[in-house]
Structure 1
Amino acid sequence: MTKKYDIEQREMRNFGEKEINNDINVFIGRESELKLLNSHLSKASKGSGSFILIRGEAGTGKTRLLKQFAEDAQYHNAIYFSEKFDKSNSFNPYYPFLKVIQKVFSNKSEQNKFDELFPRLETRVPIENKFLDVESFYHIQSERNLVQQKIVSALKDASKDQVLLIEFLDVHNAALTSWQFLHYLSHSLLEQKIVIVLSLRQDGRISQPTQVPLYADVLQRMNREGLIDIIQLNRFNLEEVRKYLNLIFPRSDFSSRLLSTLFEISGGLPDQLGELIGFMLGKGIIYQQKNIWFNQEKIDLEFLTTYFIDDQIRSEVSNQLQRLDDTKISILQYAAFMDTHFYPSVLAHLCNSKRHLILKELLSLQDQKLIYEEKDGNFYFKKAIIRALIVEQLSEKQKTRLRKEIVKAIESTNHIDDSQKIYLLANLYPQIGNISKAYEYLYKAGEKAVKNLAFPEAVKFYSSAIRFSTNRASQIPPKKAALLFLKSAWLNRVLGNWEESLKQCERVKSICDLETNVGLLNQILIQEGLTYFRLNKWENAKKCFEQCLATDEKSNLFDRAMSTYGLGNIYFEMSQYNLAEQHYQSALTAAKEISSKYLMANIYNNLGAIRSIQGDRLNAIALYSQGITLFTEISDNYGVARLYNNIGMTYADENNWQKANEFYGKSLSISDQFGFVPMKAITFLNRALALSHLCKFEEAREYNFKALRLLSRLKDELGLAEYYKIQGIIEREQKNWPQAELFFLDAIERYESLNNQLGCAETEYELGLLEFAKSNLKQMRIRFEDSMARYKLLGIEDKIDFVKSKMEELLKDASIINK
């Protein structure tokens, strides 16, 4: 039987007999937080997993709380694993997750299983230094989904017999892709024996401020969905400082001045409080006699303040640096420009020394509290101010010299991981003005990001590379620059940055002779066509796809299939369903010939949508079933999200709003997890409509407003027309008739400008219902007849019959009421 762990007894260690030092390592003031964390482990043992975020400014005790929690894990039969996010791995966002899984398999002596599931990601998605075709792009997109699902599957499998406690540190350094995946994990592991704890520094000292809205947005969604418990660590109050003192010094007789002094100078930060007490012990301000602790009667507040105020810390550190020998100074100067951790092999080369001697120097610097060693064996600056002071003391000429020497050493060493080397050089070369090298390594960093399925991070590196490629002094060959622009166009389109995608396509055109390179021309035309389609500029998109098809035998079969499929999508949105189906069937034949499951699945999905609109529900479901089988085989989560949305629309056509809302919820869950913003906007609209029919008007307004926010950002004119139509329905059902009419008329105007007859027909019908609510039967009949006329143009007999039946029903009801 396991002995109950006594937290109080553990905390009351005999600190009075310990050796005096400058680090008071006591757990205090976080008992309620620790109790909450342990409760999550108890729930996990019963199969209810948790996601927890511990956040607070630097020094509030996050690390200490996590250390204590890890110690307690053994009493819950939990296995503990820890990894940290390093900004140098921004183009490898799954690295911390894969490291955890590797540790899990190693713990079970199943390393081979890990190697089978996760060969190096870079080898999974081959990207050669040539122009990528559209098919390769889609392969990469599908690969990302497969990796994500394998990680989840491996974690679920590992937690079958034992609780897993997984700790991710420094998540403020995590890339956008990592945050999106964390959101996905929070959905996927709720019913598993897994507790995942994130540690977030919240004091503004974030290495890349652009990350702030990224994690803030994801956290807001996770919190709103009830997927994460947030523990906010604040500074100690005066009473907690008193308790801290009493636990460290159980036998003491301190003056009242000591407590107020400690609180005033430390600001209530646990870490600074510990350092301050350690300093006072070392200076004899706090001392022991006959096993009782006392403090000096006169506490020199000015002396203590001098030690702890930032300006004085600078002076103290500066003096400390001046006392170092040349070797140690050189080590710190070089390390200050490496941006991440210290690299002993590189430092040995730079200092003309041996690696083991450099390690000895690093340990000495650690003893002097200038640097520290992490569990992974890497060394870091103890405080940011140390790095800042070192850099400040150098002239611009010295900085440039140091950077050039570091670059040369990194280039020549074989002791640094390739990813780390690329990251360092991608950051250093731009700072020393070497344009060609800056372009080369920024491009390589972008490649690493794409190969590791980190699309937002790839865009960042490619964008920086583009700035150098367009520099007047650039000697980048046009073909290499064109490849960069084309990849950037694809990534920006996938991420919803459509205007930027078109801009990159134009850049390719400006530097290449497309008349002699039909393959490249087709790549651009397809990217432009797909992007114009997302912007609802259908005539532009149509011209692109038709021009691609006009190249006849010169274009490959996949390009032709994609162009034909693109035309099908345009006709679908223009409500020309017969033409849409013809193009889909033609594209399907080509897709089968080249065994493109991705394209086949999307075509089945769209054909199902046409059948659903035409009222052929059984065939619609059959086509959806074929699509979902293929989407599942290729792990295409976006496709699955679309499919759920379309099934919801099928139920909506049958007025089964409860089932429609259920499937919209499933679609939204996937879109939210993976950051499919355009898909999420569409699902918000559909869910708002379903909720309005379920008379849940406040929720309907909420989802419609969410859709408006995203649609405005995406400049989705068709989506905005849908927004106004649905808002009109909500206002009508709540008897806000003047507002409802304005929204409906605005929707019709927008649909007309887009030549979308289906949207006009649907809105005319809704206006008919509004006129009936106002008891204006003449106008109701006019609206219904206009709706039927539009449906007749579209050849949708099922809808004509429905509107006619509804009109007759309402006229009959009105007749009965009048009698």
Structure 2
Amino acid sequence: MFLLTILLILLSSIGQQLWRISNVEKTYIVRRLEKQIVVFQNQWATVGNADRIEIPDSLEQMLRARIDRMSSEPKSILQCCAVIGRTVDHVILEQISDDIADLDTNLGQLIALDMIDPQHSPSGQFEYVFEHIVTHNIAYSMVPVVTRRNLHTRIGDSVLLKNQDNPERVLEQLANHYHQGNDGSKALIHLAKAGRKAKQQYNHQVALKLYTQGLEHLGESSVDLLEEQIIIHEGLGDVYKIQGEFDTAIKHFEQAAQITGSALREAKIKRKIADVFEKRSEYETATEMLQQALEDLKNQPNLVEEATIYNSMGWIHSQKGDYTRAIDMATRALKLVEGTTAYDIIASINKNLGNYYFRKGDLEKTNLYFENGISQAELIGDKMLMAQLYNNLGLVENMIGKVESALDNYKKSIELKKQIGDNVGLTNSYSNLGSLYSTMNDFDASLKCHQNALEIAQRSGLRENIANVENNLGNFYFKQGDNNQATDHYLISLDIRKEIGNLPGLAEVYINLTGVNLKEGNLETAEKYSREGLRTAEEISVPQAIAHAWNKVGMVQQQKKDWREAIKSFSKAAEIADKANMTLEIAEANRCTGEVLIEMGNQDQAKTSLQKALEIYKKIKSIDNIELTQQSLSKLGKHLPN
């Protein structure tokens, strides 16, 4: 099908003369394909979809026969061209065809037979091209294996000689030829280099292919080439970690660590293994590995690697809810590299410090560190860091009510993470975007985002990410009034977060379980969860969580008609939220305060609180809360004190 599709497209556009098919061959093809092709004005054309045309075996056989009928020298040149590639550099062809007496005459014959076409490259160099991939594939397949491997090695040598001033730009071409050649050492060296280049350019699928090809040549080399082996195993670990294949990543990191003789290199690899354990929420194992890495550095000190390790330690503390220690570790890391050119680690530290201060409710420092991080990430073109920072900016903007900006930054983050194949990071961005769509009442888009996030998280075995998506799915169903489904998802999230000891996540789920039990009228259960949420939030000293918890405590008291205690709780929530510039929590505290004041008969103050809430809800486009607040405002003047 593939052969004929290309053949017919070409014939229908430039006619039968290109292939110089005889009348006998033409008659045979037309008889075999009379319902699929027609001859119109001496041109061939397809009937219907060319992809569905069945190819007769003899078409390939006819092309093979035409090549077989060539004399030895044109055939040899054609095969050399085929091994070079679909585009043939004339200089390279000359170097590997030095045993051919009259190269140009033979090339002329191939051109006359329409096997290749001459052209000038964009740089002005003379070259030839196989216009039809069919011709190239068949000519290549007809080169004997031993001859083919020898030619690939010679072509690699010629390409390297021609580009000796800048071999970096042809690394993948060199890797391809040496991989298919007969020199294992050259293959290993260039596959390692080309894989590293592809990884640095975030072309992870190409890097994975090149590194995997490199594994095939381990043991073939006459020398050890330990450096290349380390590059390949460490590179595979990096790529598999990004793709969420953690067991395979650890296996390759450990293989790299076993053969390195450098304390610094071993420390770096142990830190990478620790990062994998952290992603699997195995915080104690990750911390132990980082401590080992610090011990290794005593034998070969390096400030940048030491800073990177302390930055990783800070992140683990943040995952456990200890933001004070997280800030201490990150600040220590930043001091080690300030004034250096280690912009990637400096940007990463700034990103993490922004996260920690965001959790502590200091939005001024949050924005400062995020903006510093983005400028440094853009300076060095670090797409992964840029994607993470766009996601984090979206979180901040969502919290302060800048919905459109948040939406834009989440989408930027997702696009970059798709480009670089950051499957792990995509779960967070999809989940955050889904929550934002839910706030905007775009439930179809919200559910699709959450499902994408959950699929990636489950495939990668990311327990905290799974817990986060389950919690957000609970929010989604709660907002739609499906309390049973909401509770199921919240409880899945609760179990995972209890098991891995994620205190910030626990506080969040306790608070959400309070809300769903209030809706169901389970006051006793709601009160229990509200107190657990408040206790956990105060333990980790996160203003957002504390304000949210006080709001939920107040709602329980409101349901119990304990008006004065409810007012106190909402006031505490509003005070904390106001200091942290938490728009949604400020609005919720004011709305609930207004509802209680209506019950207490204080309609003027109730109106003030409700109007303040309504103004915020309109700003952040929270449609459900706008309607709820307007309903409360409509009660004014109609409600007698209770």
TM-score by length of 2: 0.73
Instruction: State the structure with bigger RCO (CA 8 A, min sep 6), 1 or 2.
Output: 1
Contact 2:384 2:417 in 1 (8 A): yes
Query: Among 744, 747, 754, which residue is 2:490 paired with?
Result: 744
Pairing 1:155-194 to 2, within 5 Å after superposition? none
Report the alpha carbon displacement of residue 651 of structure 1 after superposing the two structures with TM: 3.9
Moved more, 780-789 or 313-322: 313-322
Pairing 1:327-726 to 2, within 5 Å after superposition? 327-352=73-98, 357-374=102-119, 376=121, 377-381=126-130, 383-384=132-133, 386-387=135-136, 390=139, 398-404=144-150, 407-408=153-154, 411=157, 416-417=162-163, 418=167, 426-431=175-180, 434-446=183-195, 449=198, 454-470=203-219, 475-494=223-242, 496-513=244-261, 517-550=262-295, 551-552=297-298, 554-654=300-400, 660-726=406-472
Instruction: Give the whole-Å Cα distance in 1 for the aligned partners of 2:346 and 2:142.
Output: 63
Alpha-carbon distance change, 439 to 457 in structure 1, aligned in 2, over 3 angstroms: same
Report the alpha carbon displacement of residue 600 of structure 1 after superposing the two structures with TM: 2.6
What is the letter of the counterpart of residue 446 of structure 1?
G
Instruction: Give the whole-Å Cα distance in 2 for the aligned partners of 1:688 and 1:635.
Output: 28
Higher normalized helix content (fraction of residues): 2
Instruction: Give the whole-Å Cα distance in 1 for the aligned partners of 2:272 and 2:183.
Output: 32
Q: Secondary structure at the match of 1:337?
A: helix
Pairing 1:72-111 to 2, within 5 Å after superposition? none
In the alignment, structure 2 segments of 5+ residues that lack a partner are 16-26, 46-53, 562-598, 600-638
Q: Secondary structure at the match of 1:446?
A: helix
Q: Secondary structure at the match of 2:117?
A: strand
Q: Secondary structure at the match of 2:521?
A: coil
Count of residues paired in the alignment? 535
Report the alpha carbon displacement of residue 358 of structure 1 after superposing the two structures with TM: 1.8
Report the alpha carbon displacement of residue 574 of structure 1 after superposing the two structures with TM: 1.2
Report the alpha carbon displacement of residue 327 of structure 1 after superposing the two structures with TM: 1.2
* 1:613-663 deviation per Cα after TM superposition (whole angstroms, max 9, x unaligned): 222333323333333343343343433332332233234445666654454
Instruction: Give the whole-Å Cα distance in 1 for the aligned partners of 2:172 and 2:347.
Output: 38
Alpha-carbon distance change, 787 to 365 in structure 1, aligned in 2, over 3 angstroms: same
Moved more, 620-629 or 687-696: 620-629
Aligned to 1:277: 42
Alpha-carbon distance change, 657 to 742 in structure 1, aligned in 2, over 3 angstroms: farther
Contact 1:407 1:425 in 2 (8 A): no
Report the alpha carbon displacement of residue 706 of structure 1 after superposing the two structures with TM: 1.1
Instruction: Give the whole-Å Cα distance in 2 for the aligned partners of 1:323 and 1:733.
Output: 75
Q: Secondary structure at the match of 1:342?
A: strand
Alpha-carbon distance change, 532 to 327 in structure 1, aligned in 2, over 3 angstroms: same
* 1:492-551 deviation per Cα after TM superposition (whole angstroms, max 9, x unaligned): 4455554333222211233345xxx32222121222222332333322221222122234
* 1:691-718 deviation per Cα after TM superposition (whole angstroms, max 9, x unaligned): 2233322221111001112212332111
What is the letter of the counterpart of residue 484 of structure 1?
I
In the alignment, structure 1 segments of 5+ residues that lack a partner are 1-55, 68-243, 245-257, 281-307
* 1:161-212 deviation per Cα after TM superposition (whole angstroms, max 9, x unaligned): xxxxxxxxxxxxxxxxxxxxxxxxxxxxxxxxxxxxxxxxxxxxxxxxxxxx
Instruction: Give the whole-Å Cα distance in 1 for the aligned partners of 2:415 and 2:348.
Output: 20
Report the alpha carbon displacement of residue 590 of structure 1 after superposing the two structures with TM: 0.8
Contact 1:347 1:358 in 2 (8 A): no
Contact 2:511 2:548 in 1 (8 A): no
Report the alpha carbon displacement of residue 416 of structure 1 after superposing the two structures with TM: 4.6
Instruction: Give the whole-Å Cα distance in 2 for the aligned partners of 1:448 and 1:565.
Output: 26
Pairing 1:82-231 to 2, within 5 Å after superposition? none
Contact 2:270 2:290 in 1 (8 A): yes
Q: Secondary structure at the match of 1:735?
A: coil
Report the alpha carbon displacement of residue 360 of structure 1 after superposing the two structures with TM: 3.2
Report the alpha carbon displacement of residue 414 of structure 1 after superposing the two structures with TM: 7.4
Instruction: Give the whole-Å Cα distance in 1 for the aligned partners of 2:232 and 2:92.
Output: 31
Alpha-carbon distance change, 793 to 456 in structure 1, aligned in 2, over 3 angstroms: same
What is the letter of the counterpart of residue 524 of structure 1?
I
Q: Secondary structure at the match of 1:691?
A: helix
Over the aligned positions, Cα root-mean-square deviation in angstroms equals 3.9
Contact 2:148 2:181 in 1 (8 A): no
Contact 1:658 1:690 in 2 (8 A): no
Instruction: Give the whole-Å Cα distance in 1 for the aligned partners of 2:158 and 2:402.
Output: 67
Q: Secondary structure at the match of 1:469?
A: coil
Instruction: Give the whole-Å Cα distance in 2 for the aligned partners of 1:583 and 1:701.
Output: 37
Instruction: Give the whole-Å Cα distance in 2 for the aligned partners of 1:411 and 1:662.
Output: 49
Contact 2:417 2:426 in 1 (8 A): yes
Instruction: Give the whole-Å Cα distance in 2 for the aligned partners of 1:705 and 1:651.
Output: 24
* 1:762-816 deviation per Cα after TM superposition (whole angstroms, max 9, x unaligned): 1111111001111222221111011011112212356334422343245326635
Q: Secondary structure at the match of 1:378?
A: strand
Alpha-carbon distance change, 644 to 60 in structure 1, aligned in 2, over 3 angstroms: farther
Report the alpha carbon displacement of residue 721 of structure 1 after superposing the two structures with TM: 0.2
Report the alpha carbon displacement of residue 612 of structure 1 after superposing the two structures with TM: 2.0
Contact 1:549 1:555 in 2 (8 A): no
* 1:705-763 deviation per Cα after TM superposition (whole angstroms, max 9, x unaligned): 01112212332111100111111111122222222111111100011111101111111
Contact 2:424 2:460 in 1 (8 A): yes
Q: Secondary structure at the match of 2:394?
A: helix
